[in-house]
Structure 1
Amino acid sequence: MRRRTFLASVPAVALGAPLLAQQPEGAAGGKSAPGLAPDLAASWKPGEDRFIRPDVGCGDRPVGASFGSRTAAYGMSGAAGTAHPLATMAGIDILKRGGSAVDAAIAINACLGFLEPTANGIGGDCYVMLWDPKAGKVMGLAGSGKSPRGLSLDTVRKRAKNGVLPPYGAVTVSVPGTVDAWWMLHQRYGKLKWAEVLQPAIDLAENGAPVPDLIAWSIRRSLANFKRNSGQIEEFDNALKTWAPGGEAPKTGGVFRNPDLARTLRLIAEGGRDAFYSGQIAKTIDAYFRRIGGWLRHEDLAAHRGEWIEPHMTSYRGVGVHALGANTQGIATLQMLNILENFDMGTAGFQSPLSIHLQAEAKRLAYEDRARYYADPHFSKVPVEWLISKEYAAERAKLIRPDRILTPVHPGQAPSKGDTTYFSAADKDGMMVSMIQSNFRGMGSGLVADGLGFMFQDRGQLFSMKDRHPNIYAPGKRPFQTIIPGFATKDGQPWMAFGVMGGDMQPQGQTQIIVNRQDYGLEIQAAGDSPRWHHEGSSQSMGEDDPALGATGLLRLERGVPAATRSALADIGWKIGESDGGFGRYECVELRHDGKDRVYAAASEMRADGCALAY
């Protein structure tokens, strides 16, 4: 069949295609059982991270999507979904004790900083969208820190390589914004005492907790990566003492403790946000960076303030999708959805070549703008209203062809004017919180201040080194941010507090969730369990793209994507990449109504170690 006409016939075929078709991807070590092909493992061997049998699909659920991993959790009084069961349980416990969804979210985040240090911690930044039932609207909070005021552009450029900052060391460290964001949230929406909200995390850090599979693997991998690049890190002994006491990282199921972090959290519980930004913790941070030759100072911490911001919103087939602007990539989700609204995604077919092709092309167009325009609005005039307009999306959609890949791809011409954890929580009063927090790549910069038990973020790596670029580095400026919470409304009322973690995957993942729900009718859990795609590479870069990927980049597909879809996408020219685990991790709380009763449905990511609970 000719390449040009193939995709036109895809939808009818794709809708009936089996979703469990997989291609061989190698197997875990060990001998094969009699009668098996030699590359298929007979059993899961000790010490192997994965057991791969491409010929074996998932079990059959009697209801729901065939690829669904579980049913959503339902409750009427509250719900939470996180990347670790103990964090979810802590959030539910806070809700049961009369805490608000904000109290639960802060408690969850504090716990995850100990339980999931590869994704978040108080050395990073935090962004929030929440439904305020009294105000009847979605509220936004940007808890993002600035670069050190004593670090010049000239010094930064001397540390850069090929125009990109290194991912490790003091030059990438910006002020951590998380603790201040917690404080701002608690001051406005908290019901329990501040210290009471932080106590679950203190108890966990002191008493310890078993480390689940994915987190143990991530810690081992992160520490090994730091060791390989230790020449870029001014001081690394503190990190090893914290996460590899005795010289060994936590084993799967092994108990891990962090008494230094427990002490730090106790100081914050007793002294509030000032303990971190102007008190003993700030003084320790200042002394540490002076000792290692870094730039973060007490004055930088003392000057930090988060900000309440108005979220942006677009409609997608009757659903309001909200996103934070500021210095984040949040509006990329809105741009992608606006472009896709110009196509009949329902007819294209779930997991069809045409559906994935259209979504990936929308991503490529939006990410060109992301690299060209997104920046700290306090330093650059970002043309947000133009970028998220339906008119601009219609222009961009005209560039997409169903039978070929757009190349070259460029950002639009603006009118003349300018590694992460996600969790959701909801309470009995109707407040719903969508919150995301991160140290950025891996565990962060590799730097841990003496005796504090947390790593500083390396978010500054995403500054641009290009003259006149909106995101060019400057002292006291917030770097471009990948972390974004998601929120959706229906008829002006809250519907979903959701998010998909993972660097540049986040807008791509959020878009796939909305498309799965609105265009393909998937329920809250199946929408996340559905196989995902992840496109890497752009002609315009935020310092995270590999130039070796070429003009069209790399389209990675999870193994659950139908083999026929994979083949057809390759046939029209997509460079297909292997499944590498970089497809994000999803949590969601959905509000439903049964007559006068409020019902929450909570879903969690099968790609992570967490769970969702409701009561």
Structure 2
Amino acid sequence: MRRRTFLSTLPAGALAGGVLSAPATPAAPSAAIPAQATGANAYPYSGVGTGDRIMGAPFAGRSTVWGTRGAVATAHPTATLIGLDTLRRGGSAIDAAIAVNAALGFLEPVANGIGGDAFGLLWDPAQRKVVGFNGSGRSPRGLSLAAARGKANERGFLPSYGAVTVNVPGTVDAWWSAHQRYGKLPWRDVLLPVAELCERGEATPQLIAWYLQRNMANFDRSAAIIEENDNRRRVYAPDGRTPRVGELFANPDLARTYRVIAEGGRDAFYDGPIAEAIEGYFRRVGGWMTRADLAAHRTEWVEPLVSNYRGVDVWQLGPNTQGLSTLQILNVCERFDLEGMGFQSAAAIHVQAEAKRLAFEDRARWFADPEFSRTPVERLISKAYAAERAALIRLDRVMDRVLPGDAPTQGDTTYFSVADADGMMVSWIQSNFRGMGSGLVPDDGQGSTLGFMFQDRGELFALTDGHPNLYAPGKRPFHTIIPGFATKDGEPWMAFGVMGGGMQPQGQAQIVINMVDYGLDPQEAGDAPRWQHEGSSEPTGEPAEGSGVLHLESGVPESTKEQLRALGWTLGPPNGGFGGYQNVMRQSNARGPWTYGAASEMRKDGLALAW
């Protein structure tokens, strides 16, 4: 892909009398923060820019890494090393993904763990196609709508924490189901090295230390609505505090749980000793999850959705996820000449943010468990519908109101990409949702915890009669976490994703646009400044907040910010909600075989490696 000139301002004529350039025919694709700092605005050396690179995009913090036999990109260096070691031991990309996910459940408990759900897209080289799985769990059968409404907060929505938000965790069965299809190493050989890591412990990196402290403080403030609070403190804040940057953290309780799963398979978790312990825990604290709920759970293999963006096929999972939103944003953006508007220009960001607003109103209106309601996917994903929606975008100002309606959905999630020598590429995302989850850490009733926290994904159910996402027993809630995948000319191109609740579709769209429209490589595409729009309608029933707030990272040019204000945008400062990105790209080469390029998120503690 050829290098294009990066324009930080609009091209000549793009702004005339305050009016942005009109839609055009779609173009062809062509140093450590001090410990006391709590975010970008707290950094004491404001105004200091990045160092200078001799080549590549000046805003990129490092180069894409390249290899021929495999690649791993995760949010923690040790998890990346475990994934690479699994590949080198003869494991498949799925074996490596399972090992990575298990390791991240220990290393990055602020984002994921076996108390949550998992989703994946992967290139199956034998079938030569993209396949997907939905590993989300259902609400307890014994929790009625009336009982759920009885736990609603003062605003009439389900609370952020507590047993009412806990659904069946789908992650372990997703591991098992994927391993049954694509695993090469014995099941126990994938998990036992991770159990040893949990026992041995690992030094705590900067971002995870900060999130651990913040999340535990949030739980303490909400302790009154959490049925049991001692177990989480024992696991994540021994001696009364969370680990500081660089301090060793271990989780021997999680190691014991992993060893039970390694020896007993998925049944140990869903219909064996762990399931028995979970049922006993909720019986004691006053929850609804039962062994029968766990035993009934199965991962669903699904046909992914696909839409073409300027010659690139972009793949997503359908509802109950928000993957369709990524495709809708790209379909609308395809109606405009983003390349001609200029990289990081007001025109390009304006169009993308308005496309997000349009897509999220459909998200709020339609997305839910397809077994309980029908989402008109064919209509929403069509190019004709995209043309109708694109026509609503005004190039001289922000749309006053977008129908049907939107509010921010912030989640804490981990995403990683893995590829192997056989050509399998895996895009995997896993989450406990808000913060670290529900605040509830189960125990075995005999003095030991199980070492993981349950998700609070049930918070995303609606309580409004007639809403597609209305809570019901045995139903899967609307889900924010989405893996991404892209192919070109029938060949795999990249396994990619961006973490972070409602940021995920808008972040994924920005990665695709950065690479397709502006010619950036995987690392440059992730390091480029991002935008995030908040204030749309939610699948929980929360209405839109006017035109919302458009948050911009500090690297967006000041001239762009001024022009966006002139268009009527309410701009917000960097808020730390711009997601976390990983990518493994496959490149076809004129000389020699294809190679992998891997990129990781500079906003996280992660690492990308290839060999």
TM-score (norm 1): 0.91
Q: Do the aligned residues in 2 keep the contact of 1:10 with 1:354 (CA within 8 Å)?
A: no
Alpha-carbon contact 2:415-2:429 (below 8 Å) kept: yes
Q: Distance in 2 between matches of 1:110 and 1:165?
A: 29
Q: Does 2:449 match 1:456? A: no
* CA distance in 1: counterparts of 2:18 and 2:604, whole angstroms: 36
Distance in 2 (CA, whole Å) between partners of 1:110 and 1:555 is 35
Q: Which residue identity lines up with residue 372 of structure 1 in the other structure?
A: R
Q: Which amino acid aligns with 1:98?
A: G
For 1:439, what is the secondary structure of its paired residue?
A: strand
Q: Does the residue aligned with 1:138 lie in a helix, a strand or coil?
A: strand
String of CA shifts for 1:99-137, please: whole Å, max 9, x gaps.
000000000000000000000000000000000000000
Residue 609 of structure 1 pairs with residue 602 of structure 2: no
Following superposition, the deviation at residue 2 of structure 1 comes to 13
In structure 2, the CA distance between the partners of 1:53 and 1:529, relative to structure 1 (3 Å rule), is same
Give 2:152's aligned residue: 160
Alignment partner of 1:73 is 2:73: no
Q: Does 1:587 align with 2:582?
A: yes
Q: What corresponds to 2:306 in structure 1? A: 313
Cα distance between partner residues in 2 of 1:482 and 1:44: 30
**What pairs with 1:501-540 in structure 2 (closer than 5 Å)?**
501-538=499-536, 540=537
Alpha-carbon displacement from aligned partner over 1:460-516 (angstroms, at most 9, x marks no partner): 000011111110000000000000000000001100000000000000000000000
Cα gap change, 1:544 to 1:613, in 2 (>3 Å):
farther
Distance 2:268 2:261 in 1: 5
1:314/1:379 CA distance change after superposition, 3 Å: same
Do 1:142 and 1:326's aligned partners in 2 also have CA atoms closer than 8 Å? no
Shift of 1:200: 2.5
> Does residue 47 of the first structure (1) align with residue 43 of the second (2)?
no
- Residue 561 of structure 1 aligns to which amino acid in structure 2? V
CA–CA separation in structure 2 for the residues paired with 1:342 and 1:198: 47
Which of 531, 538, 543 aligns to 1:541? It is 538
**Is there any run of 5+ residues in structure 1 with no aligned partner, and where?**
12-42, 413-418
Distance 2:33 2:513 in 1: 36
Deviation string for 1:69-95 (max 9, x for gaps)? 000110000000000000000000000
Give, in angstroms, the shift of residue 10 of structure 1: 12
How far apart are 1:158 and its partner, in Å? 1.3
> Could you say which residue in structure 1 is the equivalent of 2:293?
300
For 2:350, which of 357, 377, 394 is the aligned residue?
A: 357
Q: Secondary structure at the match of 1:131?
A: strand
- Tell me the alpha carbon deviations over residues 379-406 of structure 1, each in whole angstroms, 9 at most, x when there is no partner: 1011111110000000000000111111
SS at match of 1:197: helix
| Counterpart selection for 1:101 from 87, 93, 97 | 93
- Note if contact 1:75-1:599 (Cα within 8 Å) is conserved in structure 2: yes
Q: Kindly tell me: are residues 559 and 406 of structure 1, through their superposed partners in 2, closer, same or farther at Cα, counting changes over 3 Å?
A: same
Structure 2 match to 1:132 = 124
Q: Which runs of 5+ in 2 are unaligned?
A: 1-12, 24-31, 406-411, 444-448
Would you say the 8 A contact 2:163–2:438 is kept in 1?
Answer: yes
Q: Does 1:91 align with 2:83?
A: yes
Q: TM-score, normalised by structure 2?
A: 0.92
For residue 8 of structure 2, what is the aligned residue in structure 1?
none
Partner of 1:497: 495
Judge conservation of contact 1:487–1:498 (CA < 8 Å) in 2: yes
Kindly provide the CA deviation profile for residues 125-154 of structure 1, in whole angstroms up to 9, marking residues without a partner as x: 000000000000000000000000000001
d(CA) in 2 for partners of 1:501 and 1:8? 31
- Asked if the contact 1:4–1:404 (Cα under 8 Å) also holds between the matched residues in 2, the reply is no
Match of 1:284 in 2: 277
1:236 counterpart letter in structure 2: N
Q: CA deviation at 1:4?
A: 7.2
1:191 to 184, 195, 207: 184
DSSP-derived class of the 1:128 partner: strand
Amino acid in the other structure paired with 1:399: L
Cα distance in 2 for partners of 1:587, 1:457 equals 23
Equivalents in 1 of 2:15, 2:557: separation in Å?
Answer: 19
Equivalent pair of 1:537/1:550 in contact (CA under 8 Å): yes
CA 1:353 to 1:436, structure 2 compared with 1: closer, same or farther past 3 Å? Answer: same
Verify the 8 A CA contact 1:10 1:352 in the aligned structure 2.
Answer: no
**Shift of residue 6, structure 1, vs aligned partner:** 2.6
Verify: 1:328 aligned to 2:321, yes or no. yes
Q: Which residue of 1 aligns with 2:570?
A: 575
Q: Could you say if the C-alpha distance between residues 269 and 558 of structure 1 is closer, same or farther in structure 2, counting changes exceeding 3 Å?
A: same
- 2: CA distance, partners of 1:517 / 1:270: 44
Q: CA contact under 8 A between 1:339 and 1:393: conserved in structure 2?
A: yes
In the TM superposition, residue 3 of structure 1 has moved relative to its aligned partner by 9.0
Counterpart pick for 1:466 among 455, 464, 480: 464
Candidates 6, 14, 18, aligned match of 1:6: 18
User: Which residues of 2 match residues 112-511 of structure 1 at below 5 A?
Assistant: 112-161=104-153, 162-411=155-404, 419-450=412-443, 451-511=449-509
